[in-house]
Amino acid sequence: MYDKFAALRLIDNWMAEDVGFFDLTAQIMIDPASTATFYMNAREPMTVAGIDVAAAVFTRYEPGSKVQVRVADGQVVEKGAVLLVVSGPAQALLTAERTALNIVQRLSGIATETAKYVSAIAHTKARLLDTRKTTPGLRMLEKHAAACGGALNHRLGLDNGVMLKDNHIAVCGSIANAVRIAKAKVPALTKIEVECDRLDQVREALEAGADVLMLDNMSVADMKTAVELVRGRAQLEASGGIRLDTIRAIAETGVDFISTSRPLQSAPAVDIGLDDKL
C-alpha cells in the first residue's frame, strides 16, 4: 500500500528531473496533433509492482492520456504479458515513457527478488521483513514493492516503533535500563525491540520485558539456542548476513521473522518495454 497523493508529488519531481526545460526530441520530431497507442510489455517473468504508479506518470504528465492497466501489483506474469496499454498525444507519451518504465522496472525488480526469499522459507513459520535501507525518497514505494513480493514491512520510519540498538544501550548503560526507560514513555500499543548479538543479551532483554529480540549476526547454532531460551515469550527476528543461500537454514531455527535489505538494495531492474505493438 502507498499514498497516491504522495506518489503524485514524486512523479512531479521525476518528470521535472528528466524533462528539464522541454523534451527537445519529441517537440522537434512529433506533430503536436498526432496520437499513438503503446503497449507496456514484460520481457521476462516477474512479480509486478508499481504498475499503477507507472500509469499515473502518463496521466499526470498528460491528463488526456487513456491508460488501461492489464495486471495488478503482486501478480506473477510470464514473458510477453501486457502490463498496460496507453493512448493519447504521441508527443507527451514519448516524453513520459522513460520515467514510467524506470519506476515499474525498479519496483518490479524488488518484488521479484523478494519473492525468491519468501519462497525459500515458505515451509517454515518465519516471515520475511524488509528494512529501512531504502533509496532516499523512494521508501514508500520500495516498501510497497517488497510487500508485493510477499514480505512484511518492518518500521516505515523511526516513528513506527522503538528499536534499541547497541549505541542506544551503551548510552543508557544496560539493556535492562534501556528497556525500563522505553516502557515508561512508549505509546501503549507500540512494541519495544532490542538488538542482541550474544545469548547473555537475549536473556537480559527477555527478563527486562522486551517484546521483540533481534538476533543480530548470530550463528545458526546460537539462534537455535535463543529459540529454546525464549520459548515463545517474545518474538525473535534474525538479522545480518541474510542471503538467498543462507535464509533457509536460518528460518529452520524457529525464529518468527527474518529481516534483510538485500532485495531492496541489490535487486536488478526487470526488463519491461513500451512498444507500438503487442
d(CA 62, CA 25): 17
Residue tagged active-site, from 4, 43, 66, 165: 165
Decide if 224 is catalytic: no
Residues 6+ apart with CB under 8 A from 34: 89, 90, 91
Decide if 165 is catalytic: yes
d(CA 111, CA 141): 11
Q: How would DSSP label each residue in 189-205?
A: T--EEEEESSHHHHHHH
Residue tagged active-site, from 52, 216, 237, 256: 216
What burial letters (b/e) apply to 22-60, b meaning 16+ CB within 10 Å?
A: ebeebeeebeeeeeeebbbbbeeebbbbbbbbbbbbbbb
d(CA 193, CA 253): 20
**Residue closest to 47 by CA, chosen among 126, 131, 117, 129:** 117
d(CA 96, CA 225): 54
Decide if 191 is catalytic: no
Residue tagged active-site, from 70, 98, 155, 183: 98
d(CA 139, CA 91): 31
Decide if 276 is catalytic: no
Decide if 195 is catalytic: yes
d(CA 54, CA 69): 10
d(CA 228, CA 255): 10
Residue tagged active-site, from 4, 43, 79, 133: 133
Kind and range of the H or E run holding 184? helix 175-185
Residue tagged active-site, from 195, 204, 237, 256: 195
Q: How would DSSP label each residue in 11-61?
A: HHHHHHHHHTT--HHHHHHS-TT-EEEEEEEESS-EE---HHHHHHHHHHH
CB-based contact 230:236 (threshold 8 Å) = yes
Known catalytic residues are 98, 133, 165, 195, 216
